[in-house]
């Protein structure tokens, strides 16, 4: 059992966070299931709703990486660097999705929040 004591914080963080995110996702999807949809709503969802879910999942993943018992910092730095690089690539994907969707015309605040603020956090 002493080999697992270093993993205690990892399981506390990942377990409680995963439970909260799954519960939140269930509530949101249950509320959205009764809402009528237009043909192009999926494009807007991919541009505006999906990045929020990806952001929460990324924060959970980064917390899990940091709380795992590592021998050194080199592996953690490489993993965080890969996540950051993936975030920059994903920001460009979101820019394209925001331009392609035709349901909602993004205003300045939308561009600022969905692209710039998310890009800065990665």
Share of residues in the chain with pLDDT > 90 (%): 11
- Residue 40 is given by DSSP the state T
Domain span at 64: 2-121
What integer pLDDT is reported at residue 77 of this predicted model?
Answer: 93
Question: Residue 77 half-sphere exposure, CB side, CA atoms within 13 Å?
Answer: 4
Instruction: Round to whole Å and give the CA distance between 29 and 70.
Output: 36
Percent of all residues in the chain with a pLDDT value above 70, rounded to a whole number: 75
Distance from first CA to last CA of the chain, Å, rounded? 36
* Helices 8-33 and 50-67: angle between axes, nearest 10 degrees: 170
pLDDT (tens place) for every residue of the chain, 122 residues total: 566 677 777 777 777 777 777 777 677 667 666 666 666 667 776 777 777 778 778 888 888 888 888 888 899 999 999 999 998 898 888 888 888 887 777 788 877 776 666 555 44
pTM over 0.85: no
What number of other Cβ atoms are within 10 A of residue 98's Cβ? 21
Q: Number of structural domains, the chain?
A: 1
What confidence tens digit (pLDDT) does each residue in 72-104 have?
Answer: 889 999 999 999 999 889 888 888 888 888 777
Q: What HEC string does 51-69 produce?
A: HHHHHHHHHHHHHHHHHCC
In 10 A of CB 58, how many CB atoms? Answer: 19
């Amino acid at each position: 059992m002493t080999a697992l004591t270093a993993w205690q914080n990892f399981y506390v963080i990942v377990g409680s966070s995963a439970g909260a995110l799954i519960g939140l996702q269930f509530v949101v999807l249950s509320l959205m299931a009764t809402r009528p949809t237009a043909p192009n709503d999926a494009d807007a969802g991919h541009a505006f709703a999906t990045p929020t879910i990806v952001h929460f999942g990324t924060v959970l993943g980064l917390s899990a990486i940091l709380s795992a018992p590592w021998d050194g910092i080199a592996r953690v730095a490489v993993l965080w660097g890969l996540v950051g690089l993936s975030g920059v690539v994903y920001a460009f994907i979101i820019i394209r999705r925001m331009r392609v969707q035709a349901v909602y015309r993004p205003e300045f605040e939308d561009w600022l929040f969905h692209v710039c603020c998310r890009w800065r956090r990665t």
